[in-house]
Structure 1
C-alpha cells in the first residue's frame, strides 16, 4: 500500500504537543503516532506529510530534518472557523537513494489526490516538486505548476535532478503532462536572459518580484494551478533565515502568507508544498513559525473555497462578449464569487478541455474592451492550438 512509506511522529514530540491548549490545532488534527495508529482518512480534506530527505537540495545541507520544528509551531496555533477534517500522516523517511524517496513521495501523493485529499508537503529540497508532478501521471490529465521562487530552477538537460534543475526535467521528460508553468517572484539577477527568453518562448508565465507586490495579481495565477511549490528562499533573509540560499530581497512574511491563502482558496489546487527549510540555520524558530502560519493561511483559504469552477455550469456565470476584428472574446463572471474567466476556443485535442476557461481579472476584461488582447489569452491560445 502506498501509505506504508509513511512513519509516525515520535512519541516524545507527540507528548510535547499534547500539552498544548485543548483549543489549539494539536487537538483539531488527527495525528499519526505509534500510540494512536494511522488516522482514518474517511472524510479527511487535507493531509499534512513531511519528507525527510534533502539530498537533492543544492547548498542547503540538512534540509528535510526540521519538519517537526514546523509542526511544533503549527500545533500551537488555533484553528479558524473551519468545517473540515485534517490529518497529519507523519513523515516519509529518507530512502536508500534519492530515487527511492521520489518514488515514495510520488506514490503517497498519487494515492491522496485520487482520494480527493489535498496533501500539504513539508519537505527537503524543492526537487521534490518533480516527484509531486509525477504523482499526477496516474490522473492522465494536463496540469499547471506554480512555483514561488526567486529562480526558475531550469538547469540544463544534462544536469542531474536537484533543486536547481527540476523544472527542465518536468518540461522535457515523458510522459509530458505539463500544460503551464508559472513563476511568482523571480529576481532577474538570479536568472540568465537565456532562461527568461526560454520561458517566454514556451509561453510560460514569469512574474518579477516587483510585479507581484500588488498581491491581487497572484489570485488568478493561483486559481489556475494544480500544483503549488514554494521555495522558502523566496522570502527575504530577515524574515526567513532558515535557508542555506536565503538572500536580502524577497517576499515579506505577511506577503507569503497572503500568497498561501490565495493558493488555498483556489478550487483547482490539489497539492501544496513548502520546501528548502533548514532548521539548523533557523534563528529562534523564526522560519519554522512563519511556515506554520503559511500552512494556517493555506487551510484558511481552503475553508473559503467558492467551488465556482470547474464545478458549476455556465448558467452560474454572467457571459460577456467583447467584439474583436478577427475573433470575439468571451468572458464569464461568477455569480457566486465575482471572479472572472476568459474562454479559449480549442481547435485541437480534447485533452485541453479543462484549460478552455482560464482565470483572469476585471482589468483583462477592460483591456479587451479597449481592443487589447490580454497576454494570458495569447499564451493559452498558443498552447492549446
Structure 2
C-alpha cells in the first residue's frame, strides 16, 4: 500500500526577514490532497516521492527516499524572485510501504492528474527514477485527451530503457514502460548519455523506440549551437514537454550524493542552458528531479544543485 503524508511547515525554514524575501516564506503546506482552485493565478505544486524500492530492484545504492526532504531543506533559505501572483503549495509526500512500489505509483499518477487538471505546474521530488513512469503516465493521459503530443526531455547518464526485472518495473525501466504503453506517441530525447553506463542492447532499444539522444562526449557548453538545434527540432514537433532531471547525469564533482555517481557527467553550466531553453519554450507542462541520495552527499552540494535547478526553471517560467 501507498501512504500520503502532508509536509510539516517546520521543514521550510530560513533567515529571519520582516519582509517576504525567501522561499520558506512563500510556500504553503497543504493539510491534505486538496489543491485550492486558483484560476486567476499561476500556481506551483511541490510533491515528494519517498521511495527507493525501484533503485533497490535495479541494484543501485538505496537512500533516495530521503531526497525530497533534503531538497526542501535547502530550498527554504533560497532568495525568492518570483512574481507576487505566483502561488506555491507543498502537497507533501507519497510513501512506498512494504516494497509496494506499484501502489505508490498509482497514487502519484492520480495526484498529478488532479494537479495538472487544476492548471498548476507540478514539481516532483524523488525518489528513484521509477517515478517517471507514473509521472509520464499522468501527463500522457492529459495531453492525449487534448489531441496533443507530449515530448519527454531527460537529462541523464542513462536511457532508463531497461526491461522489467522479474516482471516488475524499477528505476532503470520507466521510459521503457512508457514506450511500451504509448508506442507511436512516445517522443523521447535524452541528454548526457554515457556509453560506459549503457550496454549495446540499450542503444538498440533506443533506436527501435525512435529515441533521440546526445552522448556525453557531445554534451558540453562549447557545443551549444548543435545541442540547441537538436532541442529546437524536438520541441517544434511536440505541444507539451515533460522535463526529468536525473542528478546522476551531473559529474560527481558537482553531484556526489546520487544513486549511481559518475566522474564523467555533465556540468551545471550546460544543464542550465538546456533548462533556460525549455523554460522559455512555453511548452513545459511538468518536471521532476530524481535520484538524490543524501547519505552520500557532501555539504548538501547535490541537494543544493537540485534546488537551484528547480528555482532556475520556475524563475525563468514566471
Greater relative CO, 1 or 2 (CA 8 Å, sep 6+)? 2
SS of aligned partner of 2:191: strand
1:248 aligns with 2:254: no
Counterparts of 1:13-28 in structure 2, within 5 Å, are 13-14=11-12, 17=13, 20-21=16-17, 22-28=20-26
Aligned-pair distance for 1:232? 0.4
Q: Give the 3 Å change call, closer, same or farther, for CA 5–111 of structure 1 in structure 2.
A: farther
Aligned-pair distance for 1:265? 2.5
Give 1 or 2: higher helix fraction: 2
1:118 aligns with 2:118: no
Question: 2:115 & 2:253 partners in 1: Cα distance?
Answer: 35
Aligned length: 295
SS of aligned partner of 1:56: helix
Counterparts of 1:84-123 in structure 2, within 5 Å, are 84-96=86-98, 97-123=100-126
Counterparts of 1:263-342 in structure 2, within 5 Å, are 263-303=278-318
Aligned-pair distance for 1:275? 0.5
8 A contact 2:192–2:249 mirrored in 1: yes
Question: 2:197 & 2:71 partners in 1: Cα distance?
Answer: 28
RMSD: 2.6
**Which residue of structure 1 lines up, in the alignment, with residue 191 of structure 2?**
184
Counterparts of 1:39-50 in structure 2, within 5 Å, are 40-42=36-38, 43-50=41-48
SS of aligned partner of 1:273: strand
Q: Give the 3 Å change call, closer, same or farther, for CA 46–182 of structure 1 in structure 2.
A: same
Counterparts of 1:342-357 in structure 2, within 5 Å, are none
Question: 2:133 & 2:245 partners in 1: Cα distance?
Answer: 13
Aligned-pair distance for 1:210? 2.9
Question: 1:5 & 1:113 partners in 2: Cα distance?
Answer: 21
8 A contact 1:146–1:227 mirrored in 2: yes
TM-score (normalised: structure 1): 0.70
Q: Give the 3 Å change call, closer, same or farther, for CA 197–39 of structure 1 in structure 2.
A: closer
Unaligned runs of 5+ in 1: 304-385
Aligned-pair distance for 1:187? 1.2
Question: 1:156 & 1:148 partners in 2: Cα distance?
Answer: 20
Could you list the structure 1 runs, at least 4 aligned residues long, displaced by more than 6 angstroms after superposition. none
Aligned-pair distance for 1:86? 2.0
SS of aligned partner of 2:284: coil
